[in-house]
A and B are shown apart, each in its own frame.
Chain A
Amino acid sequence: MKISRDAVLHVAELAHLELTEAEVETFLRQLDSILTYIDKLNELDTANIEPLAQALFGAASDEEATLRQDQLVSCEVAKEVLKSAPDPSPPYFRVPKVIDR
């Protein structure tokens, strides 16, 4: 096995995903098969290869050309943004209690 049941539970915890018992079993089997396939990459010697994070060309690869000036601009969107919030308490988002006193 490429991945253990404990590892599946740990990853679900890291990803903040509540999984059912059936999902844990299915993902264990499927992730194992996918990771076995991905082992294919080890056939390649990449010791001297620089990783490529993004294929950028032209001026988009030039930070000077793409970073804007750090200037303050007015941004009055709170009212509209809060319209989509599940539990708004303008001008805040309300969430379950984080700290117990």
Chain B
Amino acid sequence: MTAAAPWSVSSIRAALESKKISARELASEFLARIEKQNPHLNAFLTLSAERALAQAARIDQMLARGEPLPPLAGVPVAIKDVLSTRGIRTTCGSRILENYYPPYDATAVERLERAGAVLLGKTNCDEFAMGSSNENSAYGPVRNPVAPDRVPGGSSGGSAAAVAAGLAVAALGTDTGGSIRQPGALCGIPAMMPSYGRVSRYGLIAFASSLDRIGPFARSVRDTATVLEVIAGRDPNDSTSASIPVGSYVDDLEKPVRGLRIGIAPEYFQEGMDAEVRQKIESGIRLLESLGCQRVDLRMPHTEYAIATYYIIATAEASSNLARYDGVRYGLRAPGTTLLEMYKKTRGQGFGPEVKRRIMLGTYALSAGYYDAYYLKSQKVRALIARDFREAFSKVDAIITPTSPVPAFRLGERTSDPLQMYLADIYTVTGSLAGVPGISIPCGKTRQELPVGLQIFGPHFGESRVLQLAHAFETAGGFGH
């Protein structure tokens, strides 16, 4: 295989069915590539070779018996290390879970395997998914395979890098404020955050429960749609998962986009945006217009408040969710003579700086005397941001924005000022707060060959339409891999 792995879900199926390669050979080939490239990229934290080869052997047996293959038969996948995998180390990129082996699988992982996917391993990420560059991992940063001196984005940086480098055909990430879409943009691959409630969060180690979502990375919109269709749907183990039927995302991909109304809001083209990113997004919009989409100019007036709103709500929820790491039931324990001393030392030693900062901010926002001013206020502004989207979707079928105001930045370039790093999420957090689906798709490269991502938002449970537009855009622009 060359640096750009040719494998896709459909080419794997064809190769397996025509006996050009066995699932075991394919899995071994990917594991060997990871062994070779990972010391440089640091995209994987743990490999699950035994589990991968056992699953591949099952697929080969199905083939030998002439049984029909499931939709992801033999497809090598990578899983962000915040998703629970039975018996496979799951660290959340944190020292506090360095030796944690979950006793069960996340629903999304279970569904992927039931559909025939081969689980290669767990990918690096910002600690507890808190970050926009993957530099907050306790296990070191990930390199961007497109530009190795630059970040892959975050927090699902390892999943994005693994797919972009051809070390996996697809991967799962999680997105709380942009953590799937932004690394997808920075690494130059499609990356989708489905609607809140579309994919079960059971087994996702929680960061901010009202915002966390699981979604796919792949090398084409078609493969992204295939993976999403497998993992989506109601799960009794997550009461927030919706029973609305899952769309035929793959079958609907080729539906015409002519006549669809695409909304453009000036709030997503503010200063601070890289000039080349702006130019690529503007030509992307013209490309959609040339496909017959109708441009509608609209306003989303509360966009500028989204970062402030998000960093209160997400940290407040995190401070509550991360209270469970106390050295009693799992993870690190630092010795202490009293229970309270043990708690404090365990948490002080086990968490990294960004996690501590967010626990502090969230605890402050929820503390007596500040709850109304910060937490309640943010929930009200969240309602206004959701209203912006509701009103927009009464006029348009999709909203087009940049995914990130800048292309991939250099490792270490932004680590000194947390607020500046938070502002990197400016175009993604809005959709997170509103609960709508969004995809980032490649939209060309800068003069320095850095990928630019275009974001498409759709209305709640409008995944089919979002994927149709993304597929039409990818095909017409020649942005596919």
Give A contacts to B, CB under 8 Å: 3, 7-8, 10-12, 14-20, 23, 26-27, 30-31, 33-35, 37-38, 40-44, 46, 49-60, 65-68, 77, 80-81, 83-87, 93, 95-98
Partner of B244, one of A59, A84, A85: A59
Taking a contact as CB atoms under 8 Å apart, the answer to whether A60 and B241 are in contact is yes
Interface of B is mostly: helix
Partner of A31, one of B195, B343, B360: B360
Taking a contact as CB atoms under 8 Å apart, the answer to whether B360 and A51 are in contact is no
Partner of B380, one of A35, A51, A60, A97: A51
The listed residue with most B CB atoms (<10 A of its CB), out of A15, A40, A57, is: A15
Chain B residues in 8 Å Cβ range of A19: 348, 356
Partner of A84, one of B101, B239, B342, B378: B101
Taking a contact as CB atoms under 8 Å apart, the answer to whether B103 and A49 are in contact is no
Partner of A51, one of B99, B311, B383: B383
Q: Is B28 an interface residue (CB 8 A)?
A: no
Taking a contact as CB atoms under 8 Å apart, the answer to whether B384 and A97 are in contact is no
Taking a contact as CB atoms under 8 Å apart, the answer to whether A11 and B363 are in contact is yes
Chain B residues in 8 Å Cβ range of A66: 239-240
Taking a contact as CB atoms under 8 Å apart, the answer to whether A16 and B347 are in contact is yes
A-B contact pairs, 25 of them (CB 8 A): A8-B360, A12-B360, A14-B363, A17-B347, A18-B344, A18-B345, A31-B361, A31-B364, A34-B418, A34-B419, A41-B308, A44-B381, A51-B379, A51-B380, A51-B383, A52-B379, A55-B460, A56-B435, A57-B461, A58-B244, A84-B102, A84-B330, A86-B330, A96-B336, A96-B337
C-alpha spacing A54/B197, complex, angstroms: 10
Partner of A49, one of B351, B359, B383: B383
The listed residue with most B CB atoms (<10 A of its CB), out of A33, A55, A57, A85, is: A55
- Measured CB to CB, the nearest residue on chain A to B245 is A58
Chain A residues in 8 Å Cβ range of B323: 16
C-alpha spacing A90/B419, complex, angstroms: 46
- Measured CB to CB, the nearest residue on chain B to A93 is B328
- Min CB distance A88 to B, Å, is 9
Check A68/B236 contact, CB under 8 A, given A41-B378, A51-B379, A60-B242. Answer: yes
Partner of A30, one of B210, B344, B384, B418: B418
Chain A residues in 8 Å Cβ range of B210: 53-55
Chain A residues in 8 Å Cβ range of B332: 86
Chain A residues in 8 Å Cβ range of B376: 51
Residues of chain B from 431 to 476 with CB closer than 8 A to chain A in the complex: 433-436, 460-461
- Measured CB to CB, the nearest residue on chain A to B236 is A68
Taking a contact as CB atoms under 8 Å apart, the answer to whether B383 and A52 are in contact is yes
C-alpha spacing A93/B326, complex, angstroms: 12
**Lowest 3 CB-CB distances: which A-B pairs, in order?**
A55-B435, A18-B348, A51-B379
- Min CB distance A12 to B, Å, is 7
Residues of chain B from 326 to 361 with CB closer than 8 A to chain A in the complex: 326-333, 336-345, 347-349, 351, 353, 356-357, 359-361
C-alpha spacing A10/B349, complex, angstroms: 19
C-alpha spacing A75/B30, complex, angstroms: 38
- Measured CB to CB, the nearest residue on chain B to A68 is B236
Chain A residues in 8 Å Cβ range of B220: none
Residues of chain B from 293 to 335 with CB closer than 8 A to chain A in the complex: 302, 304-305, 307-309, 311-312, 319, 323, 326-333
Check A84/B329 contact, CB under 8 A, given A11-B360, A31-B357. Answer: yes
Chain B residues in 8 Å Cβ range of A17: 344, 347-348, 351, 356, 359-360
Check A57/B195 contact, CB under 8 A, given A16-B344, A51-B382, A86-B327. Answer: yes
- Measured CB to CB, the nearest residue on chain B to A23 is B356
- Measured CB to CB, the nearest residue on chain B to A66 is B239
Chain A residues in 8 Å Cβ range of B330: 84-86
- Min CB distance A81 to B, Å, is 6
Taking a contact as CB atoms under 8 Å apart, the answer to whether A41 and B309 are in contact is yes
Task: Beyond the given A18-B348, A55-B386, please list 9 additional residue pairs across the A-B interface where CB-CB is below 8 A.
Answer: A17-B351, A34-B311, A46-B377, A57-B461, A58-B197, A59-B234, A60-B243, A80-B103, A96-B339
Check A58/B386 contact, CB under 8 A, given A19-B356, A83-B101, A96-B339. Answer: no
C-alpha spacing A81/B330, complex, angstroms: 8
Partner of B243, one of A33, A46, A65, A97: A65
Partner of A33, one of B302, B344, B351, B419: B419
Chain A residues in 8 Å Cβ range of B460: 55, 57
- Measured CB to CB, the nearest residue on chain A to B343 is A16
Check A57/B197 contact, CB under 8 A, given A17-B356, A49-B380, A50-B380. Answer: yes
Taking a contact as CB atoms under 8 Å apart, the answer to whether B363 and A38 are in contact is no
- Measured CB to CB, the nearest residue on chain B to A94 is B328
- Measured CB to CB, the nearest residue on chain A to B330 is A84
- Measured CB to CB, the nearest residue on chain A to B385 is A52
Partner of B342, one of A26, A51, A60, A96: A96
- Measured CB to CB, the nearest residue on chain A to B418 is A30
Chain A residues in 8 Å Cβ range of B338: 96-98
- Min CB distance B51 to A, Å, is 17
Chain B residues in 8 Å Cβ range of A59: 234, 242-244
